[in-house]
Structures are given as structure tokens and as C-alpha cells.
Chain A
Amino acid sequence: KAGVTQTPRYLIKTRGQQVTLSCSPISGHRSVSWYQQTPGQGLQFLFEYFSETQRNKGNFPGRFSGRQFSNSRSEMNVSTLELGDSALYLCASSPGQLSDTQYFGPGTRLTVL
């Protein structure tokens, strides 16, 4: 069974732009979560989608948003990029129960110049 895939793997943007990241979960998984990883703050939970609905949300500004499609694929969008948004963005999928184990993708490395 294929793992979680994320595209693109690397992205360079400038301040003020917006960006969209994509995540395809493991086949059969209905939950997709997004995390931001930075050297200073470590790994932080952004949000989780289940059956096309945002089920949980971390403590991030409204510039960070996401959505999930009927095939469980998910996209994350960051608007009005700031230098501090430079990070590794990780997507994780799970079958759907909140207690299920999350399996992570390789991440998208976003650099904001």
C-alpha cells in the first residue's frame, strides 16, 4: 500500500504571496492532519480534516487554511506569506478514529524570501 504523498517537495515563495500544498493520504484513510515543523517551535498541529470537514484546529492565524476533497486528498493554503512561515509542512493520515495512529508523509519544504 502506498504511503502518504505530498507535493511539491520543495517550494520557494516571496513575502506576500500565497501557496497551496497538496497531500494524498494512504488509501482508505479518511483523516488528514497538517503539521508545521520549524527549528524554533518544533512540530505544531495546524488542523485536521475528516470527511471533507475540519474536525480540529490548532493555534494558527486565519492565513492558514485547508480543505479536503471527497477522495480524502487534502490541500493546505497559506495566504500573505511571511518570512516566519518558512518551514517543513508535514501531512499525516489515519483511518479516521481520533485515537488512530497517524502516518506521515515526507513533507513539503517551504522557503519564504
Chain B
Amino acid sequence: KNQVEQSPQSLIILEGKNCTLQCNYTVSPFSNLRWYKQDTGRGPVSLTIMTFSENTKSNGRYTATLDADTKQSSLHITASQLSDSASYICVVIDRGSTLGRLYFGRGTQLTVWP
């Protein structure tokens, strides 16, 4: 069964600290993996897209890693800011269907305290 599991479910950190969010998936065949940021009451916004051959990709203070062999990804946030408080959703797309089927994780709820 194709699944996407994220950990931790929630995380509280102090402003300025770093954190790492985890994503494990069983989706096959794999096409690409994305991390989305969803602010409360808003729609998700794409942060990074990683294909099979990419190991690391950065977007400002966000760095995503992908290990396609172990089917694991992480999102590292550096020097956190209050505006980073949001839900971070891992999404995996399979290449076995025309639509490019998306599998969503439940997200990690990150809270940054001053």
C-alpha cells in the first residue's frame, strides 16, 4: 500500500534554532517528492521538488534531502523564524499513472516560539 509517514507529528522550537522534519514513504514507482508549507487556514505552498536523482535541494533557509534507496526524505529549517510556524506536508508522486497520483502525509505541525 502506498503511504507517506511524517514525524514528528508536532514540534515546538525557539526562534533562531534549527530543526529537521522526517518523511518516510512506500510509494512505488517513485516520480518525485515535494515539501509543502501550509499556514493555518491557507492552502499549501510548494517549498521544494526533488526527483529520483537529486539528493539535496535548498530554498533559502529550507534544505530538503532525499534517499531514494531507503525511501526517506528530510526537511531542515535553519535559523527558524516566527513565520515558519505552519504545517509542513510531504507529498510523493508516483509515475505509474497518467495523472501523477499524489500521496500526502499528515504533516508536521511546527510552532516557533519567541
B is bound to A: no
A residues apposed to B, CB below 8 Å: none
B residues apposed to A, CB below 8 Å: none
